[in-house]
Amino acid sequence: QVQLVESGGGLVQPGGSLRLSCAASGRTIEGYAMGWFRQAPGKDREFVAGITWGGGTIWYADSVKGRFTISRDDRKNTASLRMNSLKPEDTAVYYCATNRSPFDHDYYTNYPSALAYAYWGQGTQVTVSS
């Protein structure tokens, strides 16, 4: 069973940057999609970014496009989310996720949905405030 552990969250001022990391164990991430979601208190889990196996295709939520960068390093079995120009509305718990089936081309359609992902990390808190 794959396990995901996020790290790198914390408190940052508006306009600042953070880099979140997601370490996978129990299964290689090679051949699987990776995604980042976030959830603020009382709100639904929101798609942030997704990346296909091999990293050939990337999607971002409109709210983070141009500011966030998702990447993966299959050799290290990790995924990352670089967040620049952070805004208070970016405050949330950020979750790393991966899907169940390798090379699943349905991901090209389903990437924004939490249902496209089978395994989730515990989350890491990002707070953007002065």
Summarised one tens digit per residue, pLDDT across range 7-34 is 999 999 999 999 999 999 999 999 999 9
Mean pLDDT over 61-75 rounds to 98
Q: Is the pLDDT of residue 72 over 90?
A: yes
Q: Taking all residues of the chain, what is their mean pLDDT, rounded to a whole number? A: 97
Q: Is the pLDDT of residue 128 over 90?
A: yes
pLDDT band at 1 (very low <50, low <70, confident <90, very high): confident
Distance CA 59, CA 16 (A): 22
pLDDT by residue (tens digit) across 35-56? 999 999 999 999 999 999 989 9
